[in-house]
Amino acid sequence: MTSSLPQVSLEEIREEVADLETPEERIGYLIELGQTLPDLPAEYQTEEHRVLGCQSMVWVVPELHDEILTFRGTSDAPMVRGLVAILISVYSGRSPREILEFPIEALFEELRLKSFLTPMRSNGLYSMVQRIQAIARAAVTASGETIPQPKPSEPSARSTPPTISIEGCREDFPILSQHIGDDRPLIYLDNAASSQRPTSVIDCLAAVFQTHYANVHRSGHDLAVATTVAMEAARESLRGFVGAQSADEIIFTSGTTASINLVARAWGDANLKPGDEILLTEMEHHSNIVPWQQLAARTGAIVRWLPVRDDFLLDLDALGKLLSPRTRLVSITAVSNVLGTINPVRQIVDAGHRVGASVLVDAAQAVPHGSIHAAEWDADWIVFSGHKMLGPTGIGALYGKRDVLEAMPPFLGGGNMIRSVSKAGFSPADLPHRFEAGTAPIAEAIAMKPAVEYLQRVGSRFILEHERKLADRAMKGLRGIRGLKILGPDIEAKTGIVSFVVDRIHPDQIGQYLNAMGIAIRIGHHCAMPLHERFGLSASARASFYLYNTVAEVDTFVDAVARAVAVGK
């Protein structure tokens, strides 16, 4: 293919658009502009060059010569050909680094493209931009240069002023107003297992099914457009919530467990070999243990354990002794689901990176408080679930650094995760879709947006402060019960999780008594058997507080535990 610079320059486009007043005039200009594109030979109109995510058929063909990229392209839709012409005028004749650094959003604002493009056309435009940028990133990587990284945005959970008070939020959760059993008001203290949902999330789920449900990233009809736009808006909401650089770094999964298994299969199978080491901690949830044990069994790798001290904190003095050049992966929880311990994530991430290890952070117990930030932690992957942060069940996310995700082969194969398929094989789609095979939990993904917005409106600092106030009150009350031992560090080092055991009384007995009183807590090993074994226990009782719990509920809980112990003895 012989490359050529665009027929119409970017400056000419700017001048023309500046004189156009109405959307109709701009659409007419795009159609005229599209006619200036040179014909693209049929041999280039293939799946290899097709841009996914566009309502119409779009092809973009690059050529790299003397470290300069030029592009040719076309579409079967006249107006979209005009959009292709704009992007070719923007990007052709630039180096890959210049392409990645070009302020494309500012140009779109200047040309007022968003003012008249339909949502699906707008999505298609961004799909074209992402395809061209992916080509540029590949060229930079092939040259051995460092890919320029935009400054990450601050997570919205920290920057949005609180507009919902802790004192007033309880009314937003319908389930909390009910009475159960012997007409006792429900006291829900099992939030570490799963939170309840506010009306905004419940209404969002209903609205999807009642007003615009359709499959996403496929059809071009109005319902599909509306649903696709809503799902991608939810992805963008999560991007801001965790402080990721791009929405492409947010992969929708069914939850924390699925996210960890995705990394174990897609990255672990391709990178670990016999003798490599995986470092976990003794306080991990089974979801952050079993996938790595399975990986070790498949590859011959070895799992090592960072101990938990008697004060319920990680033994960081042992970290340096356990890490070595053989350590290929460190996988840790940000917050213990049993102890409530808040771990020094960045310190552990830095230590792992110093020996060349990749690091995954299980943020399932951190994300309910909005207390995660991808840039501050610098982890290679962060995983979490929606159902612990006011969102629906069956939905979660995997955040990964772009270069890490792009180097990982797809784990699940099927629809939506491919660029092309032939009898000879397939090529995977770009991020994030290469890891989202099949039909997604669409409504659940969309409802993550109001869940995030609710947490933002309350404010992460206020949520954690409220939890700690309740947990501190609970611990002070429980310490007055003879034979009761609290599992966890001092309040300054933990979230609102209070686990405990009582001499000669099984936790199940306490849990059943509290259930009869209308109080929901968790009993058992909480999917953390190695941690219970570390402290010589088979089970414990756990109360976990959240933003909608009250001081009165804490007092009722402490009194009920005291009664349960008295009855048990």
pLDDT in tens, 356-382: 999 999 999 999 987 788 989 999 999
Contacts of 66 (CB under 8 A, 6+ apart): none
Is the preceding omega at residue 368 within 30 degrees of 0, hence cis? Answer: no
DSSP-assigned states of every residue in 345-370: HHHHHHHHHHTT-EEEEE-TTTGGGT
Q: How far apart are CA 296 and CA 288, in angstroms?
A: 13
Residue 166 DSSP SS3? coil
Residue 417 pLDDT: 84
Active site residues: 527
The 3-state secondary structure of 426-468 reads EEECCCCHHHCCCCCCHHHHHCHHHHHHHHHHHCHHHHHHHHH
CATH dotted code for 249-440: 3.40.640.10
CA distance 462 to 498: 19
CA atoms within a 13 Å half-sphere pointing along the CA-CB vector of 447: 29
Among 316, 307, 404, smallest CA distance to 360 is for 404
What's the CA gap between 371 and 55, in Å, rounded? 38
Amino acid 141: pLDDT: 79
- For the record, the structure tokens of 438 come out as 């099949």
Question: What separation in angstroms does the CA of 501 have from each of 255, 308, 450?
Answer: 30, 18, 37
The Cα 287–Cα 267 span in angstroms is 17
Q: How far apart are CA 312 and CA 369, in angstroms?
A: 21
pLDDT tens string for the chain (569 positions)? 444 455 788 899 999 888 888 878 888 888 999 898 888 999 998 878 888 767 678 999 999 988 899 999 999 888 889 999 999 999 999 999 999 999 988 888 888 886 667 656 676 787 888 889 889 988 887 877 665 554 544 454 444 556 788 888 999 999 999 998 888 999 999 999 999 999 999 999 999 999 999 988 776 687 887 888 899 999 999 999 999 988 999 999 999 999 999 999 999 999 999 999 999 999 999 999 999 999 999 999 999 999 999 999 999 999 999 999 999 999 999 999 999 999 999 999 999 999 999 999 999 999 998 778 898 999 999 999 999 999 999 999 999 999 999 999 998 998 888 877 888 888 888 889 899 999 989 999 999 999 999 999 998 889 999 999 999 999 999 999 999 999 999 999 999 999 999 999 999 999 999 999 999 999 999 999 999 999 999 999 999 999 999 999 999 999 999 999 998 76
HSE toward the beta carbon, residue 348, CA cutoff 13 A: 27
pLDDT in the model for residue 120? 60
- For domain 185-191+459-568, the CATH class is alpha beta
| Model pLDDT, residue 3 | 44
Residue 35: strand, helix, or coil: coil
Q: How high is the pLDDT of residue 397?
A: 98
Query: Who contacts 408 (Cβ-Cβ below 8 Å, separation ≥6)?
Result: 263, 266, 267, 270, 400, 435
pTM above 0.85, yes or no: no
For 103-136, what is each residue's pLDDT tens digit? 988 888 888 886 667 656 676 787 888 889 889 9
> What residue type is assigned to position 466 of the chain?
H
Q: Give the burial string for 326-359 (b: 16+ CB within 10 Å, else e).
A: bbbbbbbbbbbbbbbbbbbbeebbebbeebebbb
Domain boundaries defined on the chain: 10-143, 185-191+459-568, 249-440
Beta bridge partners of 540: 524
- 59, 348, 477, 556 from 493: Cα distances, Å: 54, 16, 19, 25
CATH number of 10-143: 3.90.1010.10
pLDDT given at position 53? 64
What is the DSSP track for 178-208?
-EETTTEEPEE-BTTT-----HHHHHHHHHI
Beta strands 327-333 and 277-281: pairing type? parallel
Question: Cα–Cα distance between 345 and 361 in angstroms, integer?
Answer: 8
Q: What is the pLDDT of residue 17?
A: 87
Rg of the chain in Å (alpha carbons):
27
Give the residue carrying structure tokens 């199940």: 508
